[in-house]
């Protein structure tokens, strides 16, 4: 099996990133297949320490920051994330490097053989098993594992982590997770294990009540950013931002000395990324005993360097500074609101041409409403994805909201990015952001990390 054949096999399985999950919930969300598959592979996920990250938005950024900090502490670190921007190999990394094509192919053969006696294995389950096996083969000491969907029945939820992290909770995938924030939060809280520390950020009261209840029922120590840790933004530029973080005494906001208190520099932009970074610091604080036991004691300087170095593409990624060109993966109303806030902070008093495409299960009216106050132009386009909106349908949906928009082919949308003498922001989904940054990279001969496109993606 070569790399192309490996991808063909993985994509031939039930792939619910490409088709609607709502039609197959009962047979898709099931941990029994995953446990059986891993047992046939020798339970590789039990050979290293893990951190588990769930949430609606911010999971990938938080996972990337955790991995970067652990690397700076001297550990060998695996990182498993999804979906990918351009190449399937991005999902599985060790010390920042994606799995090599030949290694992915060899391990896919093993997964295929193991799956032969486990009926119904999905693409995501096979990919997760592949990632777990790769981390064991490469001898990682820590693996940071991002949940794919929900948490309770997600394929990654076979691990018992050293800490569980729950990022921002908002409305997305309601057809699977539920129509209320409480229901969605309950699915995310499925990653909470008895006695295992839980770290979360400030949440809507409806979601926070569920998190507190689940942590209490599982006697899992709960740390909340905004209660147990406090922060304030300092300086923001187009390249980085600084913030001040401190541990609060007894949850009452009063300051006392802590070795992780102080000023941090973050390459990822947006106030929401500061909240994610604060969770990273709190998580490392929660597992400092384990870090010390395995020979990587917590170093505040290493944590600062890890946050400064952490990179997560297509999350308010500034490809050009003048006129500004920003690519972002926002794909629900909450993340679109955060995108609007960050555009205002980083590029104050600018108005934008938005190049937009998204998937059919996303809240198009909510995203348009969040960004319309900043818009001078809406360019609706479409890309090759079975669940993508058509450009004309997006244009009509905008018109129904009273938003003036035009529909353009992908090549014309790229020309807007290349030629318009106004600020341009591209957003709507991870896959769309990945496609457009790859096209821009090729058109401008500007090398960017993670722009290699899979042949069968």
Return the CATH number at 439. 3.90.190.20
pLDDT of residue 19: 65
Mean pLDDT of 254-259: 72
pLDDT at position 26 is 47
Q: Is 420 helix (H, G, I), strand (E, B) or coil?
A: coil
Last residue of a domain, one of 270, 285, 309: 309
User: Which 3-state string (H, E, C) describes 256-287?
Assistant: CCCCCCEEEEECCCCHHHHHHHHHHHHHHHHC
Taking residues 298-322, what's their average pLDDT?
A: 97
Q: For position 1, what pLDDT does the model report? A: 92
pLDDT band at residue 25 using 50, 70 and 90 as cut-offs: low
For residue 223, give the nearest of 159, 274, 179, 280 by alpha carbon.
Answer: 280
399 shares a domain with 263: no
Which of helix, strand or coil describes residue 312? coil
Shared domain for 244 and 321, answered yes or no, is no
Helices (H), 333-445: 333-346, 364-371, 391-400, 410-419, 430-444
Mean pLDDT, to the nearest integer, of 63-82? 98
Torsion of CA 41, 42, 44, 46, to 10 degrees: 140
Q: Is the pLDDT of residue 212 over 60?
A: yes
Residue 254 has a pLDDT of: 53
* pLDDT band at residue 27 using 50, 70 and 90 as cut-offs: low
- Report the phi/psi class of residue 139: left, alpha or beta, with left for phi > 0 and alpha for psi in -120 to 50: left
Higher pLDDT, 404 or 172: 404
In a domain, 457, yes or no: no
Rounded-to-integer distance, Cα 203 and Cα 261, Å: 23
SS3 223: strand
Q: What is the mean pLDDT of residues 269-275?
A: 96
134 and 181 fall within a common domain? yes
Place of tokens 């905008």: 398
pLDDT of amino acid 269: 97
| Residue for token pair 């921007």 | 85
Residue-number span of the structural domain to which 431 is assigned: 317-444
Answer yes or no: do 58 and 173 share one domain: yes
Of 226, 309, 227, 325, which is closest to residue 271 (Cα–Cα)? 226
Same domain, 331 and 296: no
Q: What is the mean pLDDT of residues 262-279?
A: 97
pLDDT band of 256, cuts 50, 70, 90: low
Kindly state the percentage of the chain with pLDDT values over 90.
88
pLDDT of residue 316 exceeding 50: yes
Q: Which pair of structure tokens corresponds to residue 225?
A: 């950013």
Res. 253: pLDDT tops 60: no
Q: In whole angstroms, what is the distance from residue 242 CA to residue 236 CA? A: 7
- So what's the pLDDT on residue 452? 84
Are both 284 and 330 inside the same structural domain? no
Tokens 């190999």, located at residue: 89
pLDDT at residue 361, rounded to an integer: 84
With respect to residue 453, please indicate whether it lies within any of the assigned structural domains: no
Query: Residue 150 and residue 455: Cα distance in Å, rounded?
Result: 29
Residue 146 has pLDDT above 50, yes or no: yes
The pLDDT confidence band at residue 454, using thresholds 50, 70 and 90, is confident
Do 391 and 365 share a domain, yes or no?
yes
Structure tokens at 378: 């809406």
Task: Say if 66 falls within a structural domain.
Answer: yes
Mean pLDDT, all residues of the chain: 93
Does one domain contain both 262 and 383?
A: no
Q: CATH number, domain at 169?
A: 3.40.1190.10
The pLDDT of 10-21, averaged and rounded, is 78
Alpha carbon distance 36, 42 (integer Å): 10
In the structure, what pLDDT confidence band is assigned to residue 5 with cuts at 50, 70 and 90? very high
The model's pTM is 0.95
For residue 21, pLDDT beyond 70: no
What lies within 8 Å, CB to CB, of 276 at 6+ separation is: 58, 61, 62, 65, 167, 201, 268
Q: Which two tokens stand for residue 407?
A: 């529909």
CB 235 within 8 A of CB 241: yes
Kindly tell me if the per-residue pLDDT of 176 is higher than 70.
Answer: no
The pLDDT-based confidence of 100 (bands split at 50, 70, 90) is very high
- Residue finishing a domain among 309, 336, 368: 309
**Rounded Cα gap, residues 126 and 148, in angstroms:** 13
Coil, strand or helix at 347? coil
Q: Does one domain contain both 345 and 205?
A: no
Number of domains in the chain: 2
pLDDT at 135: 98
Looking at residue 220, what is its pLDDT? 98
The Cα-based distances of 53 to 39, 63, 437 in angstroms read 23, 7, 26
Identify the burial level of 262 via C-beta atoms within 10 angstroms of its C-beta, where 0-12 means exposed, 13-18 middle and 19 or more buried.
exposed
For position 101, what pLDDT does the model report?
97
**Among 105-109, 168-172, 395-399, whose mean pLDDT is lowest?**
168-172
Last residue of a domain, one of 264, 287, 309: 309
Residues 296 and 333 grouped into a single domain: no
Share of the chain above pLDDT 70, in %: 94
Q: 121 and 228: one domain?
A: yes
What is the C-alpha separation between 39 and 59, in angstroms, rounded? 27
Residue 60 predicted with pLDDT over 50: yes
Is residue 456 in some structural domain? Answer: no
């Amino acid at each position: 099996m070569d790399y192309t054949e490996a991808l063909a096999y993985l994509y031939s399985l039930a792939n619910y990133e490409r088709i609607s999950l709502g039609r197959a919930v009962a047979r898709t969300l099931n941990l029994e297949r995953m446990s059986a598959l891993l047992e046939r592979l020798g339970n590789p996920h039990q050979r290293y320490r893990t951190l588990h990250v769930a949430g609606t938005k911010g999971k990938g950024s938080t996972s990337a920051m955790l991995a970067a900090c652990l690397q700076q502490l001297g550990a060998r670190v695996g990182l498993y994330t999804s979906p990918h921007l351009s190449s399937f190999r991005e999902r599985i990394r060790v010390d920042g490097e994606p799995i090599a094509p030949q290694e992915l192919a060899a391990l896919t053969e093993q997964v295929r053989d193991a799956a032969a006696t486990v009926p119904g294995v999905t693409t995501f389950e096979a990919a997760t098993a592949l990632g777990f096996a790769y981390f064991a083969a490469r001898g990682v000491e820590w693996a940071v594992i991002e949940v794919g969907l929900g948490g309770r029945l997600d394929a990654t939820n076979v691990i018992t982590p050293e800490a569980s992290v729950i990022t921002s909770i908002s409305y997305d995938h309601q057809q699977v997770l539920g129509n209320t924030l409480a229901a969605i939060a309950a699915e995310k809280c499925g990653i909470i294990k008895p006695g295992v520390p839980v770290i979360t950020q400030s949440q809507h009261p409806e979601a926070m009540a569920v998190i507190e209840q689940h942590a209490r029922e599982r006697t899992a120590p709960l740390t909340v950013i905004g209660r147990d840790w406090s922060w304030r933004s300092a300086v923001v530029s187009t390249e980085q931002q600084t913030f001040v973080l401190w541990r609060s005494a007894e949850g009452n906001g009063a300051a006392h000395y802590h070795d992780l208190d102080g000023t941090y520099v973050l390459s990822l932009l947006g106030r929401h990324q500061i909240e994610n970074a604060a969770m990273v610091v709190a998580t490392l604080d929660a597992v400092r005993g384990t870090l010390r036991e395995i020979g990587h004691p917590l170093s505040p300087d290493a944590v600062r360097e890890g946050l400064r170095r952490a990179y997560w593409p297509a999350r308010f990624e500034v490809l050009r500074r003048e006129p500004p060109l920003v690519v972002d993966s926002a794909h629900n109303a909450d993340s679109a609101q955060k995108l609007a806030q960050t555009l205002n902070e980083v590029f104050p008093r600018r108005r934008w041409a938005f190049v937009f495409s998204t998937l059919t299960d996303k809240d198009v009216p909510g995203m348009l409403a969040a960004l319309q106050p900043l818009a001078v132009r809406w360019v609706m386009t479409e890309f090759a994805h079975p669940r993508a909106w058509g450009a004309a349908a997006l244009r009509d949906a905008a018109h129904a909201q009273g938003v003036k928009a035009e529909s353009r082919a992908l090549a014309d949308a790229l020309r807007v990015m290349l030629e318009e003498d106004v600020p341009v922001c591209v957003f709507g989904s991870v896959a769309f952001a990945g496609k457009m940054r790859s096209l821009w990279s090729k058109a401008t001969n500007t090398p960017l990390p993670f722009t290699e496109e899979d042949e069968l993606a």
